[in-house]
Amino acid sequence: METIHLSLFLMLCLGAHRSSSEILKRQKRNAIFSIDEGYDGEFPYQLGLIKVEEKASFFEIHGQGVDEEPKGILQINKNTGILSVHGPVDYEKYRVLKLNYQSFDSDNQKIRAAMEVDISILDANDNPPKFEREIYEVTIFELISQGAAIITITASDDDTDESNRLFDLKIISVTPRPSEMEFYLTQEIHTGTISFKGCLDRQKAEKYTIIVEARDRGEKKQLSSSCTVIVHIEDGNNHLPQIIGQTGQGRVKEREESVLVSRLQVTDEDSKGTPAWRAKYQIQGDPNNNFKITTDPETNEGQLYVQKHLDYKDGPLRNLTISVENEISYQTCKVVSRSTTGLWQVVIVSGETVTKKTHLSTRQVSIIVEDVNEAPYFDTPSKQITVVENVKVGWHLWTFTAKDPDVTSGNIIVYRKSYDPAGWITVDIKTGKITTTKIIDRESSYVKNNIYTVTIWAVDNGQPPMTGTATLSIHITDENDNPPFPPVITIDICQSDGLSRANVTAMDPDEDPHGGPFTFKLQGNVKGKWKLDPTQGHSIYLVKENTVDSGHYELLLEVFDLQGIRTEHNLSVTVCKCIDPARPNCHIHKAVIGGGAIGIIAFVILLLAGVLLLAILVSCKRDSRPVQLPDRVEGSEQHLMVCNIERPGTDCKVALEQLNKEYSQSEIQAQIVSQVPQIKLSTSEAVVDAQTEHATCQSEKLKRRMDYLDLSVGESSTMRMTHQHRHSIHGTWAGQKTCSGEVNDVRREMVIERLNEMLYAQQAPGEELGDYTPHVYAEEGDPETNFELDAISISDTPFDPNLDLDLDYRFNTLASVCMPSESLLTVQQDLRQRL
């Protein structure tokens, strides 16, 4: 175990305080111990004994290393006062540990001494230097000059002591081992810059892996770490391309262009695909730039093309010189001598220091030009002329002349018409003279912007025959050869109380001054009926006076152009009442359906749907059981049945609940009244929808109630019914089939017939429901205005309120207003006939 340095001294003594009961002496001192951070022995080990003047039998410590961070490092023997260390302490985190020491007497009650104890931590070399990165990568150009900085690396050491904190950088290995160059490192405190001496050659090594070590300067021991530096070499142009072969026919026909005639093969030792490898070709001996050469990106071959046609007359052979180099400048480096200090001596050879002729690879290429039959060519391949339209047939327009470029061939040239869409011209086969064969019309659809275009061929008799083309553009000037005319001669005008008008437009295919504005005149007896406003222009208005009735009219219109060319046209004019005056159209007939008719149609559709639904829901059967009527009641000659419904004797069952109820007399009256269209009940108590009477079973009930009323009215003006009459009626109902398929069909036809009659009545002129305008009695929110309502007229005919029918008392007034007793029988009989 290494020697542990222990020092203890007392800094302060407390005076003793005495009392009459006891004397307690306290001592306060500072004690300093030290712990070596680099201790590498076993734990725990004794640090030392805290000595005090007073005798004590019990000891305690508190503070850093005990019950404060770093906890558990220090302990004290409570009986002996010896300190022990139980773990290492990091100097970079804790420079001093501060403790509080106390000693007690034997009964552990009186403090004999108390002091502060400082334990210093001695720094040790326990942190090696560390690089910022474990791996560094860099790419450099192959032709970079020696001595240039490649990369800079950085390291640091966390130790405090200077000898432990300082470190040295060193290159310890390079892979692969270089032959014509050497890497070296220059250090500046915590950084190191890597450079090289000599010449780089990518063909020998595409990359180098360098291991750099950082070692500190510790006294007892030295710590170190390392990093890896990878240097990639980008290829430079230190090898020139060499032409090694040629392929291709090496011949071309005259007048051909964009033809590949030869390919040149090259080799280059630089890396494929790099600018140092890609070839760049140049052509010498081509003053007219008839050739071009490109580089195949895959093979690096040179591709020689004819970009501008060659002429056999200029010579049957073309000799070219092709040279090749790279996209970037050529440069080489060669080591002359080496030295241990400073840079090496090298020689740089580049395109700037030597002539290119010495190094560039070249090749002689010969191209054979083949003679072929060439197409004739025109002295004037395109010509523009001006001709007045309607020129006479046989008019000479132009003469084209063509020549054969093959002067010695002896070919004969003939002229032919190539494009003449209207067939207006002909060309002399021998001379190329062009003349007209038809009248030229400027207004023809083949003329565009007053220009008619034809093309002429010149054809030789060589092998194969060749053709030259010339274009003749004929500009046609206008003549006044077209009269004006209105494109629309059928006109519709709306009938009105005032003046009505319609637009009339004229056109003329001729140009100014042979066209418009035009002058218009109406012929015939049109005074007070028709007129034109204005009479000149391209468009005028035909005005109808209010004296012209609806109908069809034929008007004669004269139109004059600026040169007085006149033409007559018949205008077919129709006058009618228009639906839309803004867009007159006398071919659409007005068809208007009143609002009342629309309502009736909708009602009929809904009613038919209801009848069909009721026919499905209703089920009928024969019930032959007699109905037992109650016996005669004492004190009365006649009486009504207790039940006010028709269930006894009725075997028609309806699925809908509302159809199961019985009709009261007020309902019968309301249904009878509803058969007469447009009857308005002047009461606010009830409005009964009488249309439901057309349901199948309900119609049957109405017929029975008509029988009931018939008997009642015939017997007494008060419409009372005797027991015998009721018995005979119910006896008749009991034995008959109340509802059957045949009866339903007949009744359905009667209902449809009745609906048709109602629809016809609703469509009567002046009686549409939509014509009714309600009277306004008061405005909402206007309490100031006092209006008087119309008086309700009540008939003076007496009405018996004790009418012995199934009417509720609330229907008495309605019955007296709508059906006086003297007319009830007539209306009831009419309804029976309809049903």
Quote the CA–CA distance of 798 and 282 in Å, as a whole number: 133
**Cα–Cα distance measured from residue 308 to residue 288, given in angstroms and rounded to the nearest whole number:** 9
C-alpha distances in Å from residue 494, one per residue of 70, 535, 542, 581: 112, 21, 12, 6
Q: How far apart are CA 85 and CA 34, in angstroms?
A: 11
pLDDT at res. 585: 82
Q: Evaluate if residue 624 carries a pLDDT over 50.
A: no
Per residue in 579-600, pLDDT (tens digit) is: 777 788 887 655 445 566 677 8
**pLDDT one-digit tens code per residue, 397-407:** 999 999 888 77
**Contact by Cβ (8 Å): 20, 61:** no
pLDDT for 456 beyond 90:
yes
| C-alpha atoms less than 13 angstroms from C-alpha of 602 in its C-beta half-sphere | 7
- Whether the per-residue pLDDT at 266 is higher than 80: the answer is yes
| Cα distance between residue 161 and residue 667, in whole Å | 122
pLDDT at 727 over 50: no
pLDDT attached to residue 559: 86
Nearest alpha-carbon partner for 324 in 440, 260, 428, 241: 241
d(CA 420, CA 424): 7
Q: What is the mean pLDDT of residues 98-114?
A: 74
CA atoms within 13 A on the CB side of 302: 30
pLDDT at 760: 60
Q: Is the pLDDT of residue 414 over 90?
A: yes
pLDDT value for 766: 43
User: 550 falls in which pLDDT band (50, 70, 90)?
Assistant: confident
Query: What integer is the mean pLDDT of 772-786?
Result: 51
Report the pLDDT value the prediction gives residue 41, as an integer from 0 to 100.
Answer: 82
CB atoms within 10 A of CB 184: 12
Percentage of the chain exceeding pLDDT 90? 26
The token pair at 218 is 């510790």
Work out the pLDDT band at 415, boundaries 50, 70, 90.
Answer: very high
The pLDDT of residue 152 is 96
Confidence of residue 681 (pLDDT cuts 50, 70, 90): very low
* CA 768 to chain CA centroid, nearest Å: 55
Residue 622, Cβ neighbours under 10 Å: how many? 11
What pLDDT, in 10s, does the model give residues 28-87? Answer: 555 678 888 777 788 888 888 877 666 767 788 888 888 888 888 888 888 888 888 888
Q: Comparing C-alpha atoms, which of 161, 167, 166 is closest to residue 212?
A: 167
Q: Is 570 exposed, middle or buried (0-12, 13-18, 19+ CB in 10 A)?
A: exposed
> Cα–Cα distances in Å, from 802 out to 151, 642, 691, 708, 798?
128, 17, 28, 17, 12
The confidence score (pLDDT) of residue 30 equals: 58
* DSSP 8-state assignment for residue 13: B
* Both structure tokens of 401: 């002349």
Per-residue pLDDT tens digits for 630-652: 444 444 444 444 444 444 444 44
pLDDT of residue 95 exceeding 70:
yes
pLDDT score recorded for residue 242: 93
3-state helix, strand, coil in the chain (%, to 5): 15, 35, 50
Question: 534 preceded by cis ω (within 30°)?
Answer: yes
Tell which phi-psi region holds residue 785, choosing left (phi > 0), alpha (psi between -120 and 50) or beta.
Answer: beta
Most confident of 478-487, 731-740, 785-794: 478-487
Summarised one tens digit per residue, pLDDT across range 184-241 is 999 998 999 999 999 998 888 999 999 999 999 888 888 999 999 999 999 888 888 9
Residue 749 confidence (pLDDT): 66
- Asked whether the beta carbons of 103 and 111 are under 8 A apart, the reply is yes
For residue 374, pLDDT beyond 60: yes
**pLDDT for 682 beyond 70:** no
Which is it for strands 382-388 and 566-576: parallel, antiparallel or unpaired? unpaired
Reply yes or no on whether the pLDDT at 364 is more than 90.
yes
Q: Give the lowest-confidence range in 19-33, 312-326, 557-571.
A: 19-33
Of 259-263, 464-468, 534-538, highest mean pLDDT:
259-263
Q: Is the pLDDT of residue 433 over 90?
A: yes
Predicted confidence band at 470 (pLDDT cuts at 50, 70, 90)? very high
Identify whether the C-beta of residue 397 lies closer than 8 Å to the C-beta of residue 387. Answer: yes
Q: How far is CA 608 from CA 96, 605, 741, in A?
A: 111, 5, 17
Q: Going by DSSP bridges, is the β-strand pair 402-403/377-378 parallel, antiparallel, or unpaired?
A: antiparallel
Please give the pLDDT value at position 241.
Answer: 92
Residue 258 has a pLDDT of 92
> How would residue 365 be classed by pLDDT, with cut points 50, 70 and 90?
very high
Q: What pLDDT is attached to residue 315?
A: 87
Q: State whether residue 351 is helix, strand or coil.
A: coil
pLDDT at 693 over 90: no
Cα distance between residue 622 and residue 737, in whole Å: 5
pLDDT score at 618: 66
The H or E element spanning position 724 is helix 723-734
pLDDT band per the 50, 70, 90 thresholds, residue 5: very low
Whether pLDDT at 457 is above 90: yes
Assessment of whether the complete model's pTM goes beyond 0.75: no
* pLDDT tens profile 22-42: 333 444 555 678 888 777 788
Confidence (pLDDT) at 774 = 58
pLDDT reading at 522 higher than 70: yes
Residues whose CB falls within 8 Å of the CB of residue 262, separated by 6 or more in sequence, listed in order:
246, 247, 248, 249, 250, 304, 365, 367
Average pLDDT over the chain, rounded to an integer: 74
DSSP, residue by residue, 506-542: -B-SSPTTSS-SEEEEEESS-TTTEEEESSEESEEEE
User: Is it the case that residue 705 has pLDDT exceeding 90?
Assistant: no
User: Percentage of the chain surpassing pLDDT 70?
Assistant: 67
Q: Are 361 and 243 in contact (CB under 8 A)?
A: yes
What are the Cα distances from residue 249, in Å, to 246, 292, 303, 737? 10, 16, 12, 116
Cross-strand partners of 399: 433
Across the strands, what pairs with 174? 210
Q: Is 392 exposed, middle or buried (0-12, 13-18, 19+ CB in 10 A)?
A: exposed
pLDDT at 286 over 80: yes
**Does the structure show a pLDDT above 70 at 713?**
no
- Give me the pLDDT at residue 772, please: 46
Q: Which amino acid is at 162?
A: E
CA separation for the pair 494, 501 (Å, rounded): 8
pLDDT grade, residue 815 (50/70/90)? low
pLDDT band for position 151 (cuts 50, 70, 90): very high
